Amino acid sequence: MKKLLLLLFLLLSIVEISACSCIGNSFSQNYQDADVIGVVKIVKVYDQNKQRRTYKVDIEFEEIFKGKSIKTIIVSGLIGKSKSAACELNVKPQERYLIYLQKYDNIYSIDYCTPKSKLQNRVTEDEKSWFEYLGKAISYLEKNKSGFQNLQFATCYQETPTDDKSDLSKISDFNPKQEFAIYKVKVNNLAGIQEISPIAGFSHKDETIRDILKTKFKVDMPHSSSDSEPKEFLLFLCYDKNSIEDPESEVIYSD
């Protein structure tokens, strides 16, 4: 269920439309790419530039998961007249967003494809629960980022699952010390895992997890390549105890 919530929150506004084609990354890659992650409220919309088709927005942070608060961002489009087909975005005062911001030339800017999710005007219980989980995931990644070694995150999938749950989710008597794990993998040109080593494992049955990943899983690499040389990526695995009894939800999954 948590993975479904993750997709709903992060990819709600990432869709493919006519001239504007947006590509949704995994949660871990969005985390890695972002300089600032947080929940913001739109305070003021102003200073429209018709030639550049941009305007300014003052924001107020309700919660920060990564980075430091900023006051102003640049938005692609015209106030009240933005074109989503051109990857432009229309935001209004008092709207709330969970947003992942990147800085270019000391400027924070967003457009239609920026990873984000529009939230309800008032905080809900589901939102509180999700942000608690999100905060734990980001704190875990921040704690272990020294081991990333400039590698990109990727996701993985079981090539030939026997039913609705992967072999990872079928590991019996699994009692991890934490909800998350990070592995470094070396991948061949067929997306198979040649080598795997934990940066921060679950601290329980890590050897079993490595064996399953290496023999039964493929890596969905961020960028396709015809290069035959092995490539290295990071995998971020999550454990959801509440999905053990759910026949359609994964207990251990990459995100």
Q: What is the pLDDT of residues 205-250, one digit of tens each?
A: 999 999 999 999 999 987 645 555 679 999 999 999 888 888 888 9
- Whether pLDDT at 8 is above 50: no
Q: How does residue 11 score in pLDDT terms, banded at 50, 70 and 90? A: very low
Domain 12-128, what fold?
OB fold (Dihydrolipoamide Acetyltransferase, E2P) (2.40.50)
pLDDT surpassing 60 at residue 52? yes
| pLDDT (mean) for 89-99 | 95
Residue 18 contacts residue 83 (beta carbons within 8 Å): no
pLDDT confidence of residue 64:
97
Cα(78)–Cα(47) distance, integer angstroms: 10
Distance between CA atoms of 131 and 137, rounded to whole angstroms?
Answer: 10
Task: Give the domain ranges of the chain.
Answer: 12-128, 148-254
**Predicted confidence (pLDDT) at residue 4 exceeds the cutoff of 80:** no
Residue 86 has pLDDT above 90, yes or no: no
pLDDT tens-digit series, residues 148-182: 878 999 999 998 877 888 999 999 999 999 999 99
The mean-pLDDT minimum among 21-25, 172-176, 196-200 falls in: 21-25
- Mean pLDDT (whole number) for 68-96: 91
**98: nearest Cα among 15, 28, 9:** 9
